[in-house]
Structure 1
C-alpha cells in the first residue's frame, strides 16, 4: 500500500483571497493548482503530463497537503495508466477553466484510491463563472485558449469594462495571464512562456461543460456528485458517426450543462474508447456500439441511446432534465393577468431643482454641530458637492441633456468614492430629517448604470452609502414608538432610492444576497408598507414589487434553463430563503388588508404577492398553510367590494382581474 497525497497551490499567490470579494461578490480563497504525489514523485498536468520530485516543481512548496488515502495499485500499473491518458492530457487540450490540472488529479485520485479531490477545488470554475465578474471574463479566458490564425498577430485580451465589476480590468487580465502561464509552465524553467512570448495552446473548440472521465472511479464520482449525468462513449478517430455527433454533443453541453454552482442542468461527460482505460470503462457498461449515450438520474442509468441521431439525443437530454427538475406546479396554471404584468422595476426618475437641493443641504450642514473628529470639514464637503457632484448630476440628468439624445456622462469610480466618504461623514453628523437632500442626489445617481455597477463592488465597505442609510433608517424606525412617525421626506426619498437600485440587476442581486443588507431592507419594507402617509406606502409598495419581480424573473430563468441570465451570471440560489419569503408574504397580506383607500398600493402589493407565490419553492411547505391561516383569499376579495378600497372597491378593470386571479388560483 502506498500513500496518495494531493499538493495544493494557489496560482494567484494570495491575490484571489484579497480581491475576490470586491471583484466577484463571493469569497474565493485561491486559484487552485493541484498535483498528485505518489510513489515518491509529484505528477501534474500543464504542458502535458509532468513528473518531478515532490515539492520541486516550478510552483515551489504547496500551500496545503491533502491526504487522499492509500492505493493498492503498483507503480508500474500507474505508469501504464499515465501512458494511456497522455493522449488526452496534452498541452493543446489544456483550458484554465474547463480541462486543467484539477481535472487530471481528480482522474488520478479516482484511479488510485476510488475517491475524488475536494469539492472546493473541483467546483472552483463553476463558482467563479456563476459570478457576474466571472461571466464577464469568460470571453477573455476563452480567447487566451483559442488557436491563433496562422500568420496573425497575437492579440491581448482585456475584459470589457462595461461589466462594472472592477475599476481596473487591465489588472484582472494581467492576473489571468500570469495564472494561466504559471499553470501551464513546464517544470523546467520557461521564461518565454512566463513572459507571454509563447502563446498558450488549446483546441479551437472549447469543451465548455464537458467533463472527460478516464476511469471507473472518476466516472462513479461524477455520478455521485450530480443529479443528472449524460455520458458519451465514442471514438472520433475511427468512428465517422462519432465525429459527426461530437460538435452537437458539445453544443448541448454548453446549452444544458450546469452553468452556475448549484444550478439546474446535467453534467456531460465523454469517454474516449480509443484508449485502453476508456475501453475498460466502456466494457464495464456494456458498450458495443459507437457512439453510445447513457442518461443517469441520481446515480442510476435510466435510458440509453445508440447511434448519432441529433434530434433523438436532444429529446433524451430534455427528458432527463424534465425528470431531474420537474416544473413547478404553477407552470401549468393559466395566469393571463400575471403574465401581462411588466416585470421591469418601478423607478423614480424625476429630476429636482439641483441647485435648490444643494442649497437646502448646505443650510443643514451649516447649522449642524460639527465634531472635531470629522474627517472632512463643512467647507470641504460643500466645495466637493458644488464643484463635482452637482455638476455631474446636472450633466447627466438635466432634462435638456436627455432630450437632445446625446451620450450622457457616467460617474467615475474616483468621484463615487469621494462622494461615499462625504456621505459617511454626513450620516454621522446629521439626523435623518436633514439627510433627505443627500438621499435624493443618490436616488437620481442610481439611474446611472456605472453607479449601480460600482455599488455592487463596494457593498461590503463600511462607507457604502446604501448600507449606511439602511442602518440609519432601521435605527430610526426601531427607536420610534410609532414607526410611522419617521421623517416623511427622508423615508419617502430613501424608498425611491432603493427602487432605483433595482435598475441594476447586479446590484439588486447583491442587495438580496448579502444577509445584513437583506435583513435591513426587509425591516424597512415591512414597516413602511404600513406607514400612515399614502405617498410613502406607494413608494414602499413599489419597492416591494421591485424585490418580488426580481426574484420571479430569476425563477422564470431557472425554470426555462436560462441560468446565465442574459450574460449577467446571476443565479437565485442565494436569494431563496424560506423564512424571509414567509415574512414578506405575511407583510403583504397584512398591508393589503389595511389598505382601504389607495388603489395603486393595492395593485402593487397584489402583484408582489403573485410574483412571490407563482414559482415559489416554498409554496407547499410554508406559504400555502400561511395563506390559509391569514385568510389571504378573503382579504384579497374584500378589495373588490364597497369599502374594501374606496366606496365601490377597486375600480380599474386590470387590477380587479389581477386580484381575482391571485386570490382564486394562487391562494388556497
Structure 2
C-alpha cells in the first residue's frame, strides 16, 4: 500500500483572495493548481504530463497537502497508466477552466483510490463562471486557448475593470502550463481541431472511480462512450456532443442548471473496462444519468435523439413543470419519433391498377400526359429510391435517387389533372405513391416550401370532405386510409408537419378527427398514429422552447420561431385533445388504445398549467375516461396498462 496525496497550490499567489470579492462579488481564496504525489514522485498536468520530486516543481512548496488515502496498485501499474494518459493529457488540450491540472488529478485520484479531489478545487470554475464578472471574462479566457482562424473577427477587448484581471489570468495560465524545471523540454504541438470550439463542463473519465465520482457530484450526467480512433460515427458525432456540452453544460447553462458531459474513450486508460461495466457493446453509445441512476440510452450517431434525451434529462433534473418531477416511467419511455408507414408495395402492380382506373374514365385521352409522366418518371424514381435492386456481393451500392424540383413540379401538375378526372375511390394508388415520396427528405423539403403542402394538402382536403359526407364505403375507406398514412409520413419532416398542422383550411385535423371514430379498425389505427405524431411534435416543441415549462429554455436560444409557434398554438391542440378523449371512450382495440393514450400523454405531459388544454381535459372528465380503459377487456398488456395509469394521473380529476 502506498500513500496518495494531493498538493494544492495557489497560482495567483494570494491575489485571488485579495481581489476576488471586489471583482466578482464572491470570495475566491485561490486559483488552484493540484498535483498527485505517490511513490515518491509528484505528477501534474500542464505542458503535458510532468513528473518531479515532491515540492521540487516550478510551483515551489504547496499551500496545502490533502491526504487522499492509500492505493493498492503497484508502481508499475501506475506508470503504465501514466504512459497511456500522455496521449490524452497533451499540451494542446489544456484549458484553464475546462481541461486542466485538476481534471488530471481528479482522474488520477479515481484510478489510484476510487475517490476524487476536494470539491473546493473541482467547483472553482463553476463558482467563478457563475458570477457576472466571470461570465463576462470567459471570452478572454477562451481566446487564450483558441487557435486563430484566418478571417475570423478579432475578440473584443475586456470590458472596464477587466484588464487587470485578464492580465492576472494570463500570468496564471503561463504559470499553470509551464514545464517542470526537471522535465525535458517538449516542442509545442499545434492545437487540435477539436479544441478550437471549447466545450464547458466537458469532463474526461478514464476509469470507473473517476466516472462514479462524476455521477456523485452532479445531478445530471451525459456519458459518451466512444472509440475516436477506430469509429467513424464517433468522429462524426463528437463535434455535436462538444457543442451540446457548451450549450447545456453545468458551467454554460444559466445558474448552473445543466448537465456534466463526459467522454469515455474505450482505448484510453481503463475506458474499455468501464465500457464493459456498463454493458457497452458498440460505439458511439450515449447514457443519461439522473442522481446517479441511468435513465436512458442512445446507441449510434443519432443527433436528433441525442438532443431530445439531453433536454428531457435536464427537465427532469431541474423540473420547470410539476409533471416533470413525477415518476412516469412509462410516459418517459415513449419514443417521440414519428410512427411511419414505410412498406413498399409492388409499384408496377400499383401503377397497373391505377392505369385501369384512368382508362375507365369517360375521357381517358385528357389524362395521357399525366399517365405517361407516372410511367416514365415517377414510378422509376420510386422504385429506384424505395425498392432498389440488390447489388452483387462486394460491389458498391449506388446512391439512392432523390426527387428533383422539376419532377415534383410536373408530378404535382399531373396530380391536379388526375384529381379532376377520377372519382375519389379511384385515387388511392396515386396517394400511395405520394406516401412514399413524403419519406424522401428532398421531396419533403419541396412540399414544405409549397403553399399548403402542395399536393398533400389537396389530397387531405378531399379526404376531409369524403369523411364529412359520412360515406364509409370500401372505395372511400381505401382513399382515407392511404391519405392518413401519407399524412403520418409527412411528420418525418418537421417543417412539412408544421405546414400541414397550421393550414388555414384545417384539412389535416379535419381528416384526423372523424377518422378516429371510423368503423374500420385499420383507418382508426392510421388515425391514431397520425394523432400521436402530431402530439409528439407538440411535446418536442415545448421541450425545445420551454413553453409551458416555467419559462425555462435549456436550449439557450437555439429553438427556432417555428417551434415556439407550434408550442403556443393551442387551438388545434384543444381540438385534438377533445377528439382523443372521445375516441378513447369508444375504442376497444388495444393497439389503437395504446397509440391514443400515448398521444394524450404527449399533449398533457408539459401542458401549460393555465392553458386551454388543461382546462378542457378537466371539463371532459378525461381522468375517468382514461382510467376506465383498465376496467374493460380492451387493455391486457402490462406495459399498456401502466401507460394508461400514468396518463390518467396527468389528467386533472
Asked whether the equivalents of residues 477 and 486 of structure 1 are also in contact (C-alpha less than 8 Å), the reply is: no
Is residue 2:333 matched to residue 1:340?
Answer: yes
Is residue 2:470 matched to residue 1:470?
Answer: no
For 2:602 and 2:381, locate their aligned partners in 1 and report how far apart those are by CA, in whole Å. 36
Partner of 1:143: none
CA-CA distance at 1:447 after TM superposition? 1.4
Partner of 1:573: 565
Partner of 1:605: 596
Partner of 2:477: 488
Cα deviations across residues 445-468 of structure 1 (Å, max 9, x unaligned)? 11111111121111347xx11111
Q: Could you say if the C-alpha distance between residues 577 and 402 of structure 1 is closer, same or farther in structure 2, counting changes exceeding 3 Å?
A: farther
For 2:596 and 2:462, locate their aligned partners in 1 and report how far apart those are by CA, in whole Å. 25
For 2:495 and 2:163, locate their aligned partners in 1 and report how far apart those are by CA, in whole Å. 42
Structure 1 counterpart of 2:523, from 520, 527, 536: 536
Q: Could you say if the C-alpha distance between residues 383 and 651 of structure 1 is closer, same or farther in structure 2, counting changes exceeding 3 Å?
A: same
Which of the two has higher C-alpha Rg? 2
CA-CA distance at 1:539 after TM superposition? 0.3
Partner of 1:398: 387
Alignment of 1:18-417 (within 5 A): 149=150, 203-204=153-154, 234-236=161-163, 239-240=166-167, 316=255, 318=257, 327-370=320-363, 377-398=366-387, 400-401=389-390, 406-417=398-409
Cα deviations across residues 329-379 of structure 1 (Å, max 9, x unaligned)? 2111111001111111111111111111111111222222349xxxx9322
Partner of 1:438: 430
Asked whether the equivalents of residues 545 and 608 of structure 1 are also in contact (C-alpha less than 8 Å), the reply is: yes
Q: Could you say if the C-alpha distance between residues 394 and 629 of structure 1 is closer, same or farther in structure 2, counting changes exceeding 3 Å?
A: same
CA-CA distance at 1:400 after TM superposition? 4.2
Partner of 1:266: none
Is residue 2:616 matched to residue 1:626?
Answer: yes
> Highest relative contact order (Cα 8 Å, sep 6+), 1 or 2?
1
CA-CA distance at 1:481 after TM superposition? 4.4
For 1:359 and 1:606, locate their aligned partners in 2 and report how far apart those are by CA, in whole Å. 40
Runs of 4+ more than 4 Å apart? 231-239, 241-245, 250-253, 310-315, 399-406, 481-486, 562-570
SS in 1 for 2:542: helix
CA-CA distance at 1:439 after TM superposition? 0.2
Is residue 2:490 matched to residue 1:501?
Answer: yes
For 1:511 and 1:392, locate their aligned partners in 2 and report how far apart those are by CA, in whole Å. 24
For 2:557 and 2:457, locate their aligned partners in 1 and report how far apart those are by CA, in whole Å. 26
For 2:253 and 2:427, locate their aligned partners in 1 and report how far apart those are by CA, in whole Å. 58
Q: How many residues align?
A: 374
SS in 2 for 1:343: coil
Cα deviations across residues 126-175 of structure 1 (Å, max 9, x unaligned)? xxxxxxxxxxxxxxxxxxxx9863xxxxxxxxxxxxxxxxxxxxxxxxxx
CA-CA distance at 1:557 after TM superposition? 2.5
For 1:545 and 1:403, locate their aligned partners in 2 and report how far apart those are by CA, in whole Å. 40
For 2:487 and 2:638, locate their aligned partners in 1 and report how far apart those are by CA, in whole Å. 29
Asked whether the equivalents of residues 236 and 243 of structure 1 are also in contact (C-alpha less than 8 Å), the reply is: no
For 1:232 and 1:609, locate their aligned partners in 2 and report how far apart those are by CA, in whole Å. 51
Asked whether the equivalents of residues 367 and 418 of structure 2 are also in contact (C-alpha less than 8 Å), the reply is: no
Partner of 1:615: 606
Q: Could you say if the C-alpha distance between residues 411 and 313 of structure 1 is closer, same or farther in structure 2, counting changes exceeding 3 Å?
A: closer
Asked whether the equivalents of residues 551 and 572 of structure 1 are also in contact (C-alpha less than 8 Å), the reply is: no
Asked whether the equivalents of residues 607 and 614 of structure 2 are also in contact (C-alpha less than 8 Å), the reply is: no
Cα deviations across residues 302-349 of structure 1 (Å, max 9, x unaligned)? xxxxxxxx9888664759x99xx9812211111100111111111111
Q: Which runs of 5+ in 1 are unaligned?
A: 1-145, 150-200, 213-230, 254-309
Asked whether the equivalents of residues 557 and 563 of structure 1 are also in contact (C-alpha less than 8 Å), the reply is: yes
Asked whether the equivalents of residues 484 and 528 of structure 1 are also in contact (C-alpha less than 8 Å), the reply is: no
For 1:522 and 1:497, locate their aligned partners in 2 and report how far apart those are by CA, in whole Å. 14
Partner of 2:504: 516
Partner of 2:643: 658
CA-CA distance at 1:558 after TM superposition? 2.7
For 2:560 and 2:570, locate their aligned partners in 1 and report how far apart those are by CA, in whole Å. 25
Asked whether the equivalents of residues 410 and 450 of structure 1 are also in contact (C-alpha less than 8 Å), the reply is: yes
Cα deviations across residues 4-26 of structure 1 (Å, max 9, x unaligned)? xxxxxxxxxxxxxxxxxxxxxxx
For 1:500 and 1:313, locate their aligned partners in 2 and report how far apart those are by CA, in whole Å. 37
CA-CA distance at 1:239 after TM superposition? 4.7
Q: Could you say if the C-alpha distance between residues 244 and 459 of structure 1 is closer, same or farther in structure 2, counting changes exceeding 3 Å?
A: farther
CA-CA distance at 1:543 after TM superposition? 0.4
Asked whether the equivalents of residues 549 and 608 of structure 1 are also in contact (C-alpha less than 8 Å), the reply is: yes
Asked whether the equivalents of residues 541 and 563 of structure 2 are also in contact (C-alpha less than 8 Å), the reply is: yes
For 2:170 and 2:495, locate their aligned partners in 1 and report how far apart those are by CA, in whole Å. 40
Is residue 2:419 matched to residue 1:427?
Answer: yes
For 1:579 and 1:379, locate their aligned partners in 2 and report how far apart those are by CA, in whole Å. 43
CA-CA distance at 1:503 after TM superposition? 1.2
SS in 2 for 1:487: helix
CA-CA distance at 1:586 after TM superposition? 0.9
Q: Could you say if the C-alpha distance between residues 392 and 203 of structure 1 is closer, same or farther in structure 2, counting changes exceeding 3 Å?
A: same
Cα deviations across residues 415-439 of structure 1 (Å, max 9, x unaligned)? 1111111111112222211110100
For 1:490 and 1:496, locate their aligned partners in 2 and report how far apart those are by CA, in whole Å. 10
SS in 2 for 1:515: coil
CA-CA distance at 1:546 after TM superposition? 0.7
Cα deviations across residues 378-427 of structure 1 (Å, max 9, x unaligned)? 22111111111111111111164599865311111111111111111112
Q: Which runs of 5+ in 2 are unaligned?
A: 1-146, 173-194, 201-248, 259-313, 547-551
Q: Could you say if the C-alpha distance between residues 534 and 315 of structure 1 is closer, same or farther in structure 2, counting changes exceeding 3 Å?
A: closer
Asked whether the equivalents of residues 401 and 408 of structure 1 are also in contact (C-alpha less than 8 Å), the reply is: no
For 2:389 and 2:360, locate their aligned partners in 1 and report how far apart those are by CA, in whole Å. 34
Partner of 2:440: 448
Q: Could you say if the C-alpha distance between residues 622 and 232 of structure 1 is closer, same or farther in structure 2, counting changes exceeding 3 Å?
A: farther
